Chains A and B, each alone.
Chain A
Amino acid sequence: MALAPPITDLEQLRTHPAVAALLDWNPAAIQGVKFDRDEMTIAVDRAHIREACTLLRDHADFPFEFLSDVTCVDWYPSEPRFEVIYHLLSISKKERVRLKVRLDGSSPVVESITSVWPAANYFEREVFDLFGVRFTGHPYLRRIMMPEDWDGNPLRKDYPVEGYR
C-alpha cells in the first residue's frame, strides 16, 4: 500500500494544461492545486467559476468538453463549510480535472454553470436540494429529490441519518 504523497505546490503543477490555462487567464482565480492519486484538483475562487468553466470548455488545444458531475461536500463544523465539486472530462485528450469552490456556511451561494453546460441543471438542483447551496442564474432552482415542503437539507452533516422524528 504505497501511496505517493499529494503534490500541492503550484510551481510543480504549472505544466498541467488546465492549470496552465487558468494561470494564463487569471492567476487570482486559482486558490490552490492538488495532485493526489493521479487526480488533479484545482480550487477556484467562487467569483470566477463560470468563467473558468467556459475557458476550460473552449480551450483550443486541450478542451474539457464534457461535464461529468457536480456535487458537494459538507465540512461542518469547519469553515469554509461547503465545497462544490465539478468533475470535467476531456473526451479528446482523455483527461479529467476536478474543480472545487469553497463556500462559507452563512451564505452558500455560487454562480450556476448551466449557461456553460445545460447538463449542470439537474446536478445543481440536487446540490441545492440536499445541501442548501444556492446557484445564482439557475433557470429552475427547485427541490428535485425531496418533497417540495421538506424541512432541511438531508446531506448536511448536522442533519441526523435517521432524520428528525
Chain B
Amino acid sequence: MAHLTPTPVLEPNQDRTMILNMGPQHPSTHGVLRVILEIDGETVVRMMPDIGYLHTGIEKTCEAKFYQQVVPLTDRIDYLCPLTNNLCYALAVEKLLGLEIPPKAQWLRVLLNELTRINSHLVWLGTHALDIGAMTVFLYCFREREDILRIFEMVSGQRMMTSYFRIGGIALEPPIGFFEKVRDFADRFPARVDEYENLLTGNPIWMMRTKGVAKISAEDALALGASGPTLRGSGVDLDLRRDMPYSGYENFKFKVPVGKEGDVFDRYLCRVAELRESIGIVKQALDGMPEGPIKANAPKVVLPDREKMKTEMEALIYHFKIITEGFTVPAGEVYQAVESPRGEMGYYVVSDGTAKPYRVHMRAACLANLQTLPKMCEGRLIADVVAAIGSIDIVLGEIDR
C-alpha cells in the first residue's frame, strides 16, 4: 500500500503571489519546523506548517516497554519540561492502578513542576526575545535557567532528562541542602523577573514588534484547540491546575493571568506573570512541605529501598519481580491531563491487564497550538511570522513525538 503523493506545497493561485519556504533549518523556528508561505510582496497570504521531521515513534516504543520503563521516554518528548511529562504519565498510571500517593511526594512534585515551568518559560522568553532582536534578555534568562538546572541535577542527577518521578512516588529522597538551595533561588528570582520586565515590557521597540501582532480571538483559539498561555492570552480563563486540580494543587493559592487582546504582547505578559505566580507556588510548597514517606505503600509496584533490599528477603523478591517481569495493571483506560508550560498536556493510557501498556498516547499542547499559527499570520508581514512562532512557545519534540 504505497501512498506516493507529492510533498505538500501550496499552489500559487495568482500571478501576484509566490511561494516562500521557511525552514526546516531556520534559526527562529525553534527546532525543525517547516513553514510554507504564500506571499504577496511581504504580506503572507496563506501559510501551512509542515511537521514530522522529529517523529521518533515514542508512542509505538512505549507499547514494547514495561510501565516503569516508559518514564525515561516521557522525558524526551518535551525537552523543556521533562518533569511535567513524568508527572502526567505517573498520574495516569497511578489512576489506572488506583494508587494513593503520600502528601510529601505530591508536594515535591508540585514544587519541581513549578520550577520546570519557570525553566521552560525562561527558555521561551530568552529565545523569543532573541528572535525579535533583543539579545540581552537571552543571556539573563539562561543565567537563571542554569540555577534551576543545577537544582534538577542536585535532586535527580540529571540536568535535563530527569526521570525523577516514578509510578507510585518519587525516585529518591531529595539530598541534604536541597530545600535551602531552592529557597535561595526563590528569594532571588522575583528581582530577576523585574530585570527582564525592565528590558522589555515598557520598551517601545518591543511594543512595536509585539502589540497588535498575530492576534487571535478567543473563539478561534478555542475552536482550534489552543490551550495554556496561547489561549489565556486571548482572554479565556482556563488553567487545569486550578480548574481540575491534580497532585495536590488544590492546596496552593495562585492567580491565573489572563490577557485581553490575544496578541503577542498579551501572551508575553501572561507568561511573565506566570513566572511570578510559579515562584509563589514554590515558596508555598517550601513552607508547607509535609513530612512522611515519598513512595506509596505498594510493594508490588514501587521498587523497595536499597537498604531493605540488602536485609529483607521479601524486598529482594519484589525488586527482582518488578525489574524482570514488570507489574501488571488492571485493564482499563484513563486520560490524565496536566497544565504544562505550553497548555494541556494529556496522557491517554490503555491497559489490557498485562505488564506493558497496550497504548500510550500523548496529547501534545503544541500540536494544537500550532494550528492557530496560520490564523495569526495570514494577512500580516513575514517578519511577524517569526514573532508569532515565538509567541506560541513551540517545542517540536512534543509536536512530532
B344 at the interface (CB under 8 A from A): yes
A111 at the interface (CB under 8 A from B): no
Contact A148 B99 (CB under 8 A): no
Expressed in whole angstroms, the Cα–Cα distance for A161 and B344 within the complex equals 28
Chain A residues near B243: list those with CB within 8 A.
Answer: 91, 94
Contact A39 B225 (CB under 8 A): no
B241 at the interface (CB under 8 A from A): no
Known contacts A1-B99, A117-B225, A119-B224, A161 near B330 by CB under 8 Å: no
CB proximity to A under 8 Å, residues B340-395 = 344, 346, 348, 350, 358-359, 361, 363, 367-368, 370-371
B2 at the interface (CB under 8 A from A): yes
Known contacts A73-B350, A87-B363, A67 near B225 by CB under 8 Å: yes
Which of B51, B95, B333, B350 has the most A CB atoms < 10 Å from its CB?
A: B333
Expressed in whole angstroms, the Cα–Cα distance for A129 and B245 within the complex equals 34
Chain A residues near B298: list those with CB within 8 A.
Answer: 1
Expressed in whole angstroms, the Cα–Cα distance for A96 and B337 within the complex equals 10
CB proximity to B under 8 Å, residues A95-154 = 96, 98, 117-123, 126, 130, 140, 142-152, 154
Expressed in whole angstroms, the Cα–Cα distance for A68 and B63 within the complex equals 22
CB proximity to A under 8 Å, residues B156-195 = none
B334 at the interface (CB under 8 A from A): yes
A interface residues, how many (CB within 8 angstroms) = 48
Closest to B225 in A: A119
A66 at the interface (CB under 8 A from B): yes
Stretch of B4-12, B136-144, B283-291, B303-311 contacting A (4+ beta carbons < 8 Å): B4-12
Q: What's the minimum C-beta distance from B238 to chain A, rounded to whole angstroms?
A: 5
Q: What's the minimum C-beta distance from B63 to chain A, rounded to whole angstroms?
A: 7
Chain B residues near A51: list those with CB within 8 A.
Answer: none
Chain B residues near A32: list those with CB within 8 A.
Answer: none
A85 at the interface (CB under 8 A from B): yes
Q: What's the minimum C-beta distance from B289 to chain A, rounded to whole angstroms?
A: 26
Chain B residues near A65: list those with CB within 8 A.
Answer: 222
Chain A residues near B99: list those with CB within 8 A.
Answer: 1
Expressed in whole angstroms, the Cα–Cα distance for A37 and B61 within the complex equals 26
Contact A122 B334 (CB under 8 A): no
A69 at the interface (CB under 8 A from B): yes
Expressed in whole angstroms, the Cα–Cα distance for A121 and B96 within the complex equals 29
Our count of residue pairs bridging A and B at CB distance below 8 angstroms stands at: 122
Contact A2 B60 (CB under 8 A): no
Contact B346 A69 (CB under 8 A): yes
Chain A residues near B59: list those with CB within 8 A.
Answer: 130, 155
Contact A37 B225 (CB under 8 A): no
Could you give, for residues 270-299 of chain B, a 1 whenever the CB lies within 8 Å of some chain A CB and a 0 otherwise? 000000000000000000000000000010
Contact A1 B236 (CB under 8 A): no
Known contacts A118-B223, A143-B3, A148-B5, A37 near B98 by CB under 8 Å: yes
Expressed in whole angstroms, the Cα–Cα distance for A147 and B6 within the complex equals 10
Known contacts A69-B363, A118-B223, A144-B52, A37 near B64 by CB under 8 Å: no
Contact A148 B225 (CB under 8 A): no
Chain A residues near B224: list those with CB within 8 A.
Answer: 118-119
> What are 13 A-B contacts with C-beta separation under 8 Å?
A1-B99, A3-B330, A37-B96, A69-B363, A118-B223, A119-B224, A119-B225, A123-B225, A123-B368, A148-B3, A151-B2, A151-B3, A161-B64
**B residues adjacent to A (C-beta < 8 A):** 1-8, 51-52, 55, 57, 59-61, 63-64, 95-99, 222-225, 227, 236, 238, 243-244, 298, 330, 332-335, 337, 344, 346, 348, 350, 358-359, 361, 363, 367-368, 370-371, 400-401
Pairs A-B, 8 closest by C-beta atoms? A119-B225, A3-B98, A69-B363, A145-B55, A145-B52, A71-B361, A161-B64, A73-B359
**A residues adjacent to B (C-beta < 8 A):** 1-3, 6, 36-37, 39, 41, 65-69, 71, 73-74, 85, 87, 89, 91, 94, 96, 98, 117-123, 126, 130, 140, 142-152, 154-155, 159, 161
Additional A-B contact list (15), CB under 8 Å, known A1-B298, A71-B363, A161-B64:
A3-B330, A37-B98, A37-B332, A37-B334, A68-B363, A69-B335, A69-B361, A94-B244, A98-B335, A120-B225, A130-B59, A145-B55, A146-B52, A148-B7, A148-B8
